């Protein structure tokens, strides 16, 4: 009896000290497993390149609510490639703790942040490094370590980023297609910053939606994500060492929506990026155009979008980009059917030369959890003289001139 | 004599227009009453499953969560998070409804981490390949239509108003709609949708009405049949949660980016 009372007393006292924090342990998992085959009709241009390649990839996202306002996201990614050891790679896309309050959102860890409005070239987007070996469209990104703060207000959203660690761009290896003739010496990467990859980069962005307008203004200071290359002689022969300069970049994004029209503009002003003649000259670049959508064409549920975007870089022939004065024309057909069948045709035409790239993408769902896709990339009328021989920006794709390919992909989503 | 009959006619006209409503006014009043009875719901979260069927009987499944915040000076705000099919899991659509102008819409694409402003002009477009269009699912305002009471009749054992409504917006996919609304509780039971050529296109029927918070009636099943293609879509709502405490800040571009 006395024990029972004591026990009861202990229990009730004890319960005072038990934390009443409600921690929910619901872990959400999703992801996809994908196999991919790339068929290259033409023989490789360079020694050591394999003809075709097969690969598979796995991406899993785990999400976990630690409390009402605190969450953890973890997204590992891995790809195995049969031809290219460099394309066999893994990455932590996200490992991110996010604290959401009414007045602000504070995040820390590895994360992916997208800026921009245009469809073809992404000028303003600068937080994450491009995982260039994954795809040529520049939309695959490596996870970026950061501390981020987002403050919403009546007058828009202000985002601040501290970026304490630099991620190097990925490049194909010797056996891979879609590479330069001269090998990239990733082990000899050079940084302008004395702190190397530990330079503390920072960025700020302001965004606002005003009726039919979307506006974004951003500024970045730190090690540029876009490499320049230094010719080096290594024990293995001549190679190109990636050089990452310290840059300052200011960007604007503008979008105007009116019934079926989307008008888009992105512009950047960048200081500190060497051009092809190794000069440090400020430059600006613009991309913009429109997307017009015909809804429910021919009385069906299909939508047809027409995309027209112009691309301009003030460095012109000294730019290390293939898109210094180009026009892009695209058609996007979405059938809006059970299988979500889609088709995209995109042609990017250089204005001064005949250089042209054509992308065709088509996909559909199979059953409830699988998706199949066919993609073709055609490099047409490319110069046969390499960029590093001709110093001509149109030649940047010349090393890819025999690398037109067709890709088949099957992905399972869970 | 002539003067008096004119005067009589004039008085008759005056009284009739004062006392009796025109069919237009009556139709408008039915929907006004329906809207009035639904006011004050605050916010509602529901979980929905869509079964798409083609004319061969093949099925495809969609699952989503829908959050609606009641608008006061302007239209309602709506967030839709897709859960199935798996390849679009986590994709989310945010709509800020407006009265007498296009809605603002943003789409979140989780694979890219991108929030994309899209045109609010896609009213007539199919919602995810289903027989429902964006305008069928979106929140509707009284001002979006003109009304006409066609009559009163018995339907499914209850006395109903039969009201025609014609969309004011040129971008609507419909030329006219005929609606059946019960006279007791002002609930929508059936809609015949006519296309722009005034041909019967689709029929929506609702069933399983339940009352929430002792006030707000919601059906747990919607069936839309397309008469021209033989396809149909059934929506099963598993759950309505009213007045959960959602606020404007839960319907912003920032919340769109992190919604699960």
CA distance B133 to chain A (A): 9
Cα–Cα distance for residue pair B125/A334, rounded to 1 Å: 11
DSSP A254-293: EEEEETTEEEEEEEEEEES-B-TTS-B--EEEEEEEEEEE
B6 falls within a domain: no
Confidence of residue B90 (pLDDT cuts 50, 70, 90): very high
Strand ranges inside A245-386, DSSP E: 246-258, 261-271, 283-294, 303-313, 325-334, 342-350, 356-366, 370-380
Chain centre to alpha carbon of residue B138: 6
The CATH label, of 3.40.109.10, 2.40.160.100, 3.40.50.150, 1.10.1060.10, for the domain at A26-413 is 2.40.160.100
Choose, out of A260, A295, A332, A342, the residue to mutate when testing the contact with B (most B CBs < 10 Å). A295
Tokens of A131: 């995982």
How many degrees, rounded to 5, is the angle at CA B15 between CA B14 and CA B21? 100
Cα–Cα distance for residue pair A113/B227, rounded to 1 Å: 45
B97 falls within a domain: yes
> Tokens 């088709």 sit at which residue?
A343
pLDDT (tens digit per residue) in B11-52: 656 555 556 789 999 999 999 999 999 999 999 999 999 999
Query: For residue B85, is the peptide bond before it cis, meaning its omega torsion is within 30 degrees of 0?
Result: yes
Using an 8 Å Cβ cutoff, are B166 and B143 in contact? no
**Residue A192 φ/ψ, nearest 5 degrees:** -70, -35
Contact B112 A255 (CB under 8 A): no
DSSP A72-99: EEEEEEEEEESS-TTTSEEEEEEEEEEE
Handedness of CA B177, B182, B185, B187 (dihedral sign): negative
Enumerate chain A positions whose Cβ falls within 8 A of a Cβ in B: 28, 30, 32, 63, 71, 98, 100, 102, 105, 112-114, 116-117, 139, 150, 152, 157, 207, 209, 211, 214, 255, 257, 259-262, 293, 295-296, 301, 303, 336-340, 365, 368-369, 371, 411, 413-414
B1 falls within a domain: no
> Tokens 């990239």 sit at which residue?
A184
Using an 8 Å Cβ cutoff, are A248 and A291 in contact? no
Which residue on chain A is closest to B126 by alpha carbon? A301
Using an 8 Å Cβ cutoff, are A294 and B121 in contact? no
Beta bridge mates, A232: A239
* Cβ of residue B1 closer than 8 Å to a chain A Cβ: no
Using an 8 Å Cβ cutoff, are A128 and A109 in contact? no
- Residues from chain A that touch B89, judged by Cβ atoms under 8 A, are 30, 413
Cα–Cα distance for residue pair B28/B14, rounded to 1 Å: 21
Using an 8 Å Cβ cutoff, are A297 and A304 in contact? yes
Per-residue pLDDT in tens (0 to 9) along chain A, 414 residues:
444 444 444 444 444 444 444 445 578 899 999 999 999 999 999 999 999 999 999 999 999 999 999 999 999 999 999 999 999 999 999 999 999 999 999 999 999 999 999 999 999 999 999 999 999 888 999 999 999 999 999 899 999 999 999 999 999 999 999 998 888 999 999 999 999 999 999 999 999 999 999 999 999 999 999 999 999 987 878 899 999 999 999 999 999 999 899 999 999 999 999 988 888 999 999 999 999 999 888 878 899 999 999 999 999 888 878 888 999 999 999 998 889 999 999 999 998 888 899 999 999 999 889 999 999 999 987 766 655 555 555 567 888 889 999 999 999 999
Tokens of A168: 């190097």
- Contacting B residues, span 156-215, partner chain A, CB-CB under 8 Å: 171, 173
Q: Is the pTM of this model over 0.90?
A: no
- Residues from chain A that touch B197, judged by Cβ atoms under 8 A, are none
Cα–Cα distance for residue pair A266/A253, rounded to 1 Å: 5
Using an 8 Å Cβ cutoff, are B70 and B57 in contact? no
CA distance A56 to chain B (A): 17
> Tokens 């876009």 sit at which residue?
A226
Q: From A117, A249, A231, select the one nearest A180 (Cα to Cα).
A: A231
pLDDT (tens digit per residue) in A118-177: 999 999 999 999 999 999 888 999 999 999 999 999 899 999 999 999 999 999 999 999
Cα–Cα distance for residue pair A22/A20, rounded to 1 Å: 6
- Across the interface, of A150, A211, A336, the residue whose CB is closest to B129 is A336
Cα–Cα distance for residue pair A288/A271, rounded to 1 Å: 21
Cα–Cα distance for residue pair A361/A406, rounded to 1 Å: 10
Cα–Cα distance for residue pair B78/B138, rounded to 1 Å: 8
Using an 8 Å Cβ cutoff, are A236 and A269 in contact? no
B7 falls within a domain: no
- Residues from chain A that touch B52, judged by Cβ atoms under 8 A, are 338
Using an 8 Å Cβ cutoff, are A130 and A114 in contact? no
Handedness of CA B170, B173, B175, B179 (dihedral sign): negative
> Tokens 């002009």 sit at which residue?
B121
Using an 8 Å Cβ cutoff, are B141 and B99 in contact? yes
Contact A337 B129 (CB under 8 A): yes
- Residues from chain A that touch B253, judged by Cβ atoms under 8 A, are 157, 207, 209
Which residue on chain A is closest to B63 by alpha carbon? A368
Contact B121 A414 (CB under 8 A): no
Contact A296 B120 (CB under 8 A): no
pLDDT (tens digit per residue) in B152-194: 999 999 999 999 999 988 888 899 999 999 999 999 999 999 9
Boundaries of every domain in chain A: 26-413
Contact B119 A340 (CB under 8 A): no
Return the number of other C-beta atoms located less than 10 Å from residue B72's C-beta: 7
Q: Show Cβ contacts of residue A95 under 8 Å, excluding neighbours closer than 6 positions.
A: A73, A74, A75, A109, A110, A143
DSSP A178-214: S--SSPB-GGG-EESSTTGGG--EEEEEEEEEETTEE
Cα–Cα distance for residue pair A36/A52, rounded to 1 Å: 11
B13 falls within a domain: no
Cα–Cα distance for residue pair A269/A214, rounded to 1 Å: 20
Per-residue CA distances from B233 to B82, B165, B169, B259 (Å): 17, 23, 25, 26
Choose, out of B53, B63, B125, the residue to mutate when testing the contact with A (most A CBs < 10 Å). B125
What range does the domain containing B64 cover?
23-258
Percent above pLDDT 90 for chain A? 74
Q: From B128, B144, B110, B141, select the one nearest B66 (Cα to Cα).
A: B128
Q: Show Cβ contacts of residue B61 under 8 Å, excluding neighbours closer than 6 positions.
A: A368, B49, B50, B51, B52, B84, B85
Which residue on chain A is closest to B113 by alpha carbon? A114
- Residues from chain B that touch A102, judged by Cβ atoms under 8 A, are 249
pLDDT at A14: 43
Beta bridge mates, A238: A233
Contact B125 A105 (CB under 8 A): no
Cα–Cα distance for residue pair A50/A36, rounded to 1 Å: 16
B203 falls within a domain: yes
Domain containing residue B174: CATH number: 2.50.20.10
B120 falls within a domain: yes
Per-residue CA distances from A300 to A303, A361, B167 (Å): 8, 22, 20
Structural domain tally of chain B? 1
- Residues from chain A that touch B85, judged by Cβ atoms under 8 A, are 340, 365, 368-369, 413
């Amino acid at each position: 009896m006395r024990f029972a009372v004591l026990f009861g007393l202990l229990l009730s006292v004890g319960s005072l000290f038990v934390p009443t924090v409600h921690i929910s342990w619901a872990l959400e998992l999703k992801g996809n497993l994908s196999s991919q085959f790339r068929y290259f009709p033409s023989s490789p241009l360079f020694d050591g390149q394999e003809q075709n390649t097969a690969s598979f990839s796995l991406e899993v996202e785990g999400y976990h609510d630690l409390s009402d306002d605190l969450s953890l996201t973890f997204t590992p990614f891995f790809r195995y490639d049969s031809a290219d050891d460099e394309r066999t790679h893994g990455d932590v896309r996200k490992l991110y703790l996010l604290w959401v309050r009414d007045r602000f959102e504070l995040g820390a860890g590895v994360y992916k942040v997208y800026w921009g409005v245009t469809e073809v070239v992404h000028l303003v987007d600068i937080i994450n490094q491009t995982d260039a070996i994954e795809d040529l469209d520049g939309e695959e990104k490596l996870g970026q370590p950061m501390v981020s703060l987002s403050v919403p207000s009546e007058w828009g959203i202000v985002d601040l980023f501290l970026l304490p660690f630099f991620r190097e761009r990925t490049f194909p290896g010797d056996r891979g297609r879609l590479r330069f003739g001269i090998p990239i010496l990733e082990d000899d990467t050079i940084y302008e910053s004395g702190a190397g990859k530990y330079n503390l980069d920072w960025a700020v962005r302001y965004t606002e939606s005003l009726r039919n307008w979307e506006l974004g203004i951003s500024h970045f200071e730190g090690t540029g994500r876009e490499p320049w290359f230094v010719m080096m002689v290594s024990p293995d022969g001549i190679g190109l060492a990636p050089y990452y300069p310290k840059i300052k970049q200011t960007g604007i994004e503008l979008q105007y929506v009116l019934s079926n029209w989307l008008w888009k503009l992105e512009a950047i002003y960048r200081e500190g990026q060497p051009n092809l003649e190794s000069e440090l000259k400020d430059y600006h670049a613009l991309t913009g155009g429109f997307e017009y959508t015909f809804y429910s064409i021919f009385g069906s549920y299909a939508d047809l979008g027409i995309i027209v975007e112009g691309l301009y870089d003030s460095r012109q022939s000294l730019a290390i980009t293939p898109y210094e004065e180009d026009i892009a024309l695209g058609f996007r057909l979405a059938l809006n059917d059970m299988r979500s069948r889609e088709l995209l045709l995109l042609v990017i035409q250089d204005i001064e030369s005949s250089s042209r790239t054509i992308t065709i993408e088509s996909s559909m769902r199979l059953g409830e959890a699988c998706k199949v896709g066919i993609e073709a990339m055609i490099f047409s009328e490319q110069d046969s003289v390499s960029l590093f021989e001709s110093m001509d920006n149109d030649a940047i794709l010349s090393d890819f001139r025999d690398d037109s390919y067709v890709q088949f992909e099957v992905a399972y989503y869970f | 004599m002539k003067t008096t009959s004119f005067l009589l006619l004039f008085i008759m006209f005056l009284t009739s227009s004062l006392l009796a409503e025109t069919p237009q006014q009556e139709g408008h009043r039915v929907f006004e009453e329906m809207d009035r009875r639904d006011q004050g719901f605050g916010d509602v979260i529901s979980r929905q499953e869509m079964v798409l069927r083609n004319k061969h009987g093949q099925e495809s499944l969609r699952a989503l969560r829908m959050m609606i915040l009641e608008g006061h000076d302007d239209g309602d705000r709506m967030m839709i998070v897709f859960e199935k099919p798996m390849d679009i899991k986590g994709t989310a659509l945010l709509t800020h409804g407006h009265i007498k102008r296009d809605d603002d819409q943003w789409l979140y694409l989780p694979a890219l981490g991108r929030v994309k402003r899209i045109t609010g002009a896609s009213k007539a477009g199919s919602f995810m390949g289903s027989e429902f269009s964006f305008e069928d699912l979106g929140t509707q305002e009284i001002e979006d239509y003109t009304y006409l009471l066609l009559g009163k009749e018995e339907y499914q054992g209850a006395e109903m108003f039969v009201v025609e409504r014609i969309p004011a917006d040129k971008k609507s996919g419909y030329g006219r709609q005929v609606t059946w609304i019960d006279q007791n509780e002002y609930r929508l039971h059936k809609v015949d949708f006519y296309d722009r050529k005034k041909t019967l296109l689709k029929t929506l029927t609702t069933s399983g009405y339940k009352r929430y918070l002792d006030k707000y009636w919601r059906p747990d099943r919607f069936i839309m049949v397309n008469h021209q293609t033989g396809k149909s879509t059934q929506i099963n709502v598993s759950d309505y949660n009213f007045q959960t405490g959602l606020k404007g800040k839960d319907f912003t571009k920032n919340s769109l980016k992190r919604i699960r």
